[in-house]
Structure 1
Amino acid sequence: MTVTSGNRSVQPLIAPDADPHLWLEEVTGDDALAWVRARNARAEEELVDDTFEALQSDIREILDASDRIPVVSRRGAHLYNFWTDAEHPQGIWRRTTEESYRTDEPEWDVLIDLDELSAAEGVTWVWHGATVLRPRQDGEPWRHALVSLSRGGSDADVTREFDLVERRFVDPEEGGFAKPEGKGSVSWIDADTVYISTDHGEDAVTTSGYPRACRRWRRGTPLQEAETVVSVEPDHMVAAAGHLGTPGFERDIAVRVLGFYDRETLLIDDGGLRRVAVPTDVRVSIHRDLFLFMPRTETTLQGQTFPGGSLVVADIDDFMAGRAELTALFTPDASTSLQDVTATPQCLVLTVMQDVVHRLEAHVRTSQSPTDWRRSPVFEDLTGTLSVAAVDPEESEQVWITSEDHLKPTTLHLGDLSGLLDGGQETHEALKSAPERFDASGLTSVQRFATSDDGTRVPYFLVGPQELLAEGSGAAPRPTMLYGYGGFEISMTPGYLGVVGKTWLESGGVYAVANIRGGGEYGPDWHRAALRENRHLAYEDFAAVAKDLVATGVTTVPQLACRGGSNGGLLTGNMLTQYPELFGAVVIQVPLLDMKRFSHLLAGASWRAEYGDPDTEDWEFIRGFSPYHLLQEGRRYPAVLLTTSTRDDRVHPGHARKMTAALESLGADVRYWENTEGGHGGAASPEQQARLNSFIYRFLQQQLS
């Protein structure tokens, strides 16, 4: 059987109905794990040398640095932070006051030590977050917390109630809330009630592996007796519910997630569930008395039409009654997209991106009417990639802002929007800055554009020596690592390259990031352009950037490598199989590769909206970007490293295992390394992260030098 891939006809090595390596999908099967151990040993024998140990030490020093900025969340009088370092590889949950946080050496109060807990319980616990319940009355202590912990870094986790006053987990026998291990969530309604979804019980999960029902659970009652609030059909994705506790604007909402980009939002009240009447591809948020609508495609709402990628606001009660006045606060254009919205009591802060460059604007509500807003550019002196979070969205006009770029470490600012309320100015102050982790002297970061096969301009960033990246420099080409993702509307924005800088840039290498279709750099249209049968456009974009790097003299084919993980691993898997002539080395991390089986493995069914359904006629186009089925006898492939994690319960490790086995059967230059912990991130601690990255960089150094 011949498969069309790009412009080529391919006689596949692996037939979709005759998989010789299916046994490697048995994650913890004895034979499969013996196979893993043998390949791990082989990879370590090749890559662990005298240089490896120094490399691992440099990376570990960066990951464990005690002078990193502790990212905090305010809850009452305290700022909370989760922290890892050399003394606490699994991490500590701690808190301090704002006054202390402003000092160079804050005094931290440790609430939970995960290293101690892991040792006591014989489990490698990985932090999955905590939610703290706001007290109902002023003066009451912030007491109730829900803490989520993952065994070895998997998506499945446990949730336990923690008492912040008594500083202990509340035993279920005392009435403490506890979610059994599995996929799902728990969130506060009040001190004695939570919403909970679990994957336990008969018919409890969807085909994507997520909970079908969300229930309201009251303290002191059996979980199995909790009443169901909302549910979805088996072939949908997940059901969820939440409580919004802003005083005077309390609401309960439910969501039926039908697919990755389609959902129904419902208000929960005494009469049951009332659906918000918008198309399923419109994202709905609630802020106080307002609906915030973000349509993915052109949408008509109560007689008014808005383009995809816009931000529209309306009064909740009026909209539910069918008489709302709708106001568009943001409308995209060909080069500009909305990346994020942050709410304070009277302001909405929009993170806008133009050609992958951030700016911020605030929309100030000037009256009780949902149509009265004043727009102001804000924090215009901050540059680079900007991330905004409300300090306390219920009570404060303050926001946290982080700024960084490829060569400038992160700085944390505290911004105050209150001056805008009476027509004045916003203010901000820099609270903390991270130190440099590598020598950036002589380096520069530039943006360029490549032209894809269909004429589309594709932006990409280059970081490397000024003498090389200056226009018409004529400098000798350098080893170059090209990174990409291109899926799920995720934007690849500039971030400080601590590890990349130390391991790659300092030694003269070049780092490139491609902003290909499938991402969110130009809003939902940029993403939608590479969905399903148009997936090949993402790969053509990436290949165009690779060709441009060679054509402009930045690098040569033998000196060019590509790297990607998860959906980015599918990307680099397609570079390996469709464009092997463009690269000297390929790194494929925690990847999707067998696109015939992906929807049957772990969370794969939830991604059919992105890739298509291989159990239908969609397979006719999916097979054209299924790397496992594009391998050919007699074709020369560049050196390749595949990595994954045994405990990845999102993207099945069988993808990487089977691809490796197939490459081995062809006699290809392949090596494989699988971490026994780590989840989808590939590592469960800084030590594991350092080791994983050391394998990758040592491989690249060996292949491209």
Structure 2
Amino acid sequence: MRVALASILLVTLGSAALAAQSAAPDSDPYIWLEDVYGAKPMAWVESHNAKSQAVLEADPHYPKFYSEALAIAQAKDRIPTGRFIGGQVYNFWQDEDHVRGIWRRAPLDSYATGNPAWETVLDLDALATAEKANWVWKGADCVRPAERRCLINLSDGGEDAVTIREFDLPTKAFVKGGFSLPKGKQDASWQDENTLLVSREWKPGELTESGYAYVIKRLKRGQPLSGATEIFRGTKSDVSASTYVLRDAQNNVLPLITEGTDFFHSKTFLIGAKGNRRIAIPEKSQFVEMLDGRVILQTQEEWKPAGSAETFPAGSLLSLNLADLRANPSRLKPQLIYTPGPREAFQDATASKDVLLVSTLDNVSGKMLSFKPGADGTWARSELELPANSTLGVADASNTDDQALLTVTSFLTPPSIWLADAATGTAREIFRQPAKFDASNLVVEQREATSSDGTKIPYFIVHRRDIALNGDNPTLLYAYGGFEVAQTPSYSATTGKLWLENGGVYAVANIRGGGEFGPAWHEAGLSTKRQIIYDDFAAVAKDLIASKVTSPRRLGIRGGSNGGLLMGVEFTQHPELWNAVIIDVPLLDMIRISKIAAGASWEGEYGSVTDPAVRAFWEKTSPYHNLRKDVRYPEPFIFTTTKDDRVGPQHARKFAARMEEMGLPFLYYENTEGGHAAGANLKQQAHTSALEMTYLTRKLMGPQQPAEASIPVAGSK
């Protein structure tokens, strides 16, 4: 950990008091802000929103930024990413005429022209108006093989909790008397056209300590919820218990239960007529697809199956014979499909009728591989020819043939959709979004910084071709650093238009905790080892400064969710390195994290403070507990949403309140909708973007701005 001398002294002197405070949570003076919808907390939110809006929306940059961000968000020439359902391509779409959005479809031939003849299936704006509801689309699950009926997930204002209703595609209407599950944090899988496997809060309080369901029941068509049959019961100490059903093109069905013991480890069970049987796969692995009677498994830990002489490395993709799995789930004979090299990482796998498409990273650059099964259990590998130095993904693959929709994106090239024939390995571009910002004088570099333990940390930097290395370039550095989520090149029209076009530099750090180089890259920063993640990020910042790309005066950082925690730690550990810090929908109170929203579910990532070693680590690292009155911090912008039932707004509120108590400057904005996101609709998302870009422009471009949002301590003059 590297901090200024003053900070070290303050941490040392304050440790005893901090430990005493942490040991008695009720001594936390801001627990009252954890009452999400309470009148007093909401009055506090409204007051701080008004103050921040008065500063940022009055800035001359704001109207232009909002107008540009909204035009980008609502543009009708955006790519309509599709999904195969019932022989057609479906797309969910929002624009200025459809604020909440429409679900629509087109024949594949029409979609492939790049100018589809769309037919509206469900108008969410009309539904919300008719039902006087604040519906936000959360996706649809359609039962195979016919794909005539779907389960529609609707959220109130963007929460993770959803209402689930059965929808009929031919009639474009909700099914009268069909399946309907009231609001809750729940999931439902089709076992067949008349049967659901449902995980939800069946009785009040029947939730895990993380706030998720652990009881699974089978619900038949026409049954009331009270008539559902219980098939599995986990424990309250689990993260959750849920179901999913794998199907291949031959309509082989594999119904499964996962009992999550922590965020990364789970027990997997095969649902059968005579009960559930445990499948002997590693707890840090998951089934991802099924292809022609072969079940596809991705393992994130080294595995030597019982009775096997072969050991499979972490990050491998394997196949299991379905018949053998059903016959004896405790003794498995996997076949290797793919194992990553030292600078590679598996990303995702999607099956068409006869081919498995696998997206991977090679030194954080995308590859799209295809694998065809052989009669002897082996897999033939080939690679699709797609644009280099891009991020590649599979939007969807057809289960009736081998057509697939692929996504291609990079920092400077607008995103595109390619229609691929997975059987032949050919692909052609059918959509390309028009450029949303001028990239003619921009270039992308991939660099490396050296972290505190000597490890080389790659990062991308997007800048003007004629950049002057004088330390005076306004620079925004972004990272996430957790949950094995890789940060890869992608086209951000808003960042390009509002930041790069105006002379800013944009950097993305591939720090540990992510999945850029597979499970080991993630596990290097788990729990009490997490300081190395924060050292990685600081190393990238110092490299940008040392190479004269920027300077602390011109350097800003941004991250959300786990990345918001990263921002909070960097804010408290290295206040001298930045002049702007955006802390989005963050985790910040790492001592009470398990008591807030779904925080208990992430102990696999952060550890549990019931462990003395973990508690000691977070007592010296938790941003909320490590703010110091006498330290000169930059003025941060703290953003959260009231409807965030995943991380919760409590972290951001309490952090801001503690800054307020200490007389430290900050800007705070809490959107009352949006869930764990920038907003519930395109206008709210544009508003958030404009606020944040206005803040960055004020702090990093032009002369130094005073900290207008400094709020005096209550009672002071």
Q: Secondary structure at 1:306's aligned position in 2?
A: coil
Confirm or deny: 8 A CA contact 1:611 1:622 kept in the other structure.
no
| Mapped pair 1:699 → 2:695 | yes
* Structure 1 residues 676 and 380, CA gap change in structure 2 (3 angstroms): closer
Return the offset for 1:212: 1.0
Name structure 1 gaps, 5 residues minimum. Answer: 137-141, 420-425
Aligned to 1:462: 461
CA contact (8 A) 1:410 1:433 kept: yes
* Deviations 1:263-291, CA, capped at 9 Å, x for gaps: 11111111211111122112233514223
> 1:30 maps to what in 2?
39
Structure 2 residue 302 is matched with structure 1 residue 292: no
- Equivalence for 2:686: 690
Q: CA deviation at 1:248?
A: 4.6
Distance 1:326 1:192 in 2: 33
Contact residue 383 and residue 404 of structure 1 kept, 8 A: no
Matches within 5 A, 1:93-242: 93-135=103-145, 142-171=147-176, 175-242=177-244
Cα gap change, 1:398/1:105 in structure 2, threshold over 3 Å: closer, same or farther? closer
Are the structure 2 counterparts of residues 616 and 464 from structure 1 closer, same or farther at C-alpha, using a change threshold of 3 Å? same
Query: Percent identical across equivalent pairs?
Result: 40
Using the TM superposition, give the Cα deviation of residue 562 of structure 1 relative to its aligned residue in structure 2, in angstroms: 0.6
- Counterpart residue type for residue 190 of structure 2: W
- Aligned-pair CA distance for 1:447: 0.6
Secondary structure of 2:95's aligned partner? coil
**Residue 658 of structure 1: SS of its match in structure 2?**
helix
Partner of 2:397: 391
Tell whether 2:618 aligns with 1:622: yes
Cα-to-partner distance string for 1:60-107 (whole Å, 9 max, x where unaligned) = 000000001111111123211100001111100111112222335322
User: Does residue 20 of the first structure (1) align with residue 29 of the second (2)?
Assistant: yes
Q: 2:557 aligns with which of 553, 562, 565?
A: 562
Structure-1 separation of matches of 2:281 and 2:87: 39
Single out whichever of 383-392 and 8-17 deviates more from structure 2. 8-17
- Paired amino acid for 2:576: E
SS in 1 for 2:638: strand
Pairing 1:333-412 to 2, within 5 Å after superposition: 333-367=341-375, 369-370=376-377, 372-381=378-387, 383-392=389-398, 394-412=399-417
Which range is displaced more, 447-456 or 323-332? Answer: 323-332
Partner of 2:514: 519
Alpha-carbon contact 1:648-1:682 (below 8 Å) kept: no
CA 1:460–1:383 in structure 2 vs 1: closer, same or farther (change >3 Å)?
Answer: closer
The match for 2:668 among 672, 686, 690 is: 672
- Give 1:599 deviation, angstroms: 0.7
* Distance in 1 (alpha carbons) for counterparts of 2:199 and 2:593: 25
* 2:471 and 2:551 in contact (8 A); partners too: no
Q: Distance in 2 between matches of 1:81 and 1:663?
A: 44
* 1:428 paired residue number: 427
User: How far apart, CA to CA, are the structure 1 residues paired with 2:70 and 2:289?
Assistant: 41
Following the alignment from structure 1 to structure 2, what is the Cα–Cα distance between the partners of residues 221 and 609? 37
Q: Aligned-pair RMSD on alpha carbons?
A: 1.9
Tell me the equivalent position of 1:575: 570
Q: Comparing 289-298 with 565-574, which one deviates more in the overlay? A: 289-298
Report the equivalent of 1:81. 91
CA distance in 2, matches of 1:169, 1:248: 26
User: Does the 8 A contact of 1:484 with 1:516 survive in 2?
Assistant: yes
TM superposition shift of 1:253? 1.6
With over 3 angstroms needed to count, the CA separation of the structure-2 counterparts of 1:266 and 1:286, relative to structure 1, is farther
Mapped to 2, the partners of 1:257 and 1:4 lie a distance apart of 41
1:446 aligns to what?
Answer: 445
Match of 2:708 in 1: none
Q: 1: CA distance between counterparts of 2:78 and 2:432?
A: 8
Whole-angstrom distance in 2 between the partners of 1:278 and 1:7 = 46
Offset at residue 345 of structure 1 (A):
3.1
- Alpha-carbon contact 1:486-1:567 (below 8 Å) kept: yes
Deviations 1:561-615 (A, max 9, x none): 1100000000000011011111111110100000011111111110001001113
Asked if the contact 2:643–2:675 (Cα under 8 Å) also holds between the matched residues in 1, the reply is: yes
Mapped partners of 1:128, 1:51: distance in 2? 33
Displacement of 1:351: 1.5
- Counterparts of 2:693 and 2:159, CA distance in 1: 25
How many angstroms apart in 2 are the aligned matches of 1:643 and 1:519? 23
Instruction: Give, as a single letter, the amino acid of the residue that structure 2 aligns with 1:545.
Output: V
Q: Which residue of 2 aligns with 1:594?
A: 589
Rate the CA distance shift 1:104–1:345 in 2: closer, same or farther, 3 A.
Answer: closer
What is aligned with 1:422? none
Deviations 1:349-375 (A, max 9, x none): 2222121111122222122x32x2222
Q: 1:389 and 1:56 mapped to 2: Cα distance?
A: 30
Q: Which amino acid aligns with 1:349?
A: L
Moved more, 202-211 or 322-331: 322-331
Q: Pick the aligned partner of 1:585 from 580, 589, 605.
A: 580
1:232–1:357 CA distance, 2 compared to 1 (3 A): same
Say whether the 8 Å CA contact 1:415–1:429 is kept in structure 2. yes
Do the aligned partners of 1:185 and 1:198 also contact (CA within 8 Å) in 2? yes
1:115 & 1:330 partners in 2: Cα distance?
45
| CA distance in structure 2 between the aligned counterparts of 1:135 and 1:342, rounded to whole angstroms | 17
CA distance in 2 between partners of 1:279 and 1:581 (Å): 44
CA contact (8 A) 1:382 1:403 kept: no
Q: What letter matches 2:450 in structure 1?
A: T
Instruction: Name the TM-score, length of structure 2 as normaliser.
Output: 0.92
Q: 1:181 to 1:33 in 2, by over 3 A?
A: same
1:228-267 aligned at under 5 Å gives the runs: 228-246=230-248, 247-267=250-270
Q: Does 1:528 align with 2:523?
A: yes
Q: How far apart, CA to CA, are the structure 2 residues paired with 1:662 and 1:61?
A: 37
Counterparts in 2 of 1:440 and 1:381: CA distance versus 1, 3 Å: closer
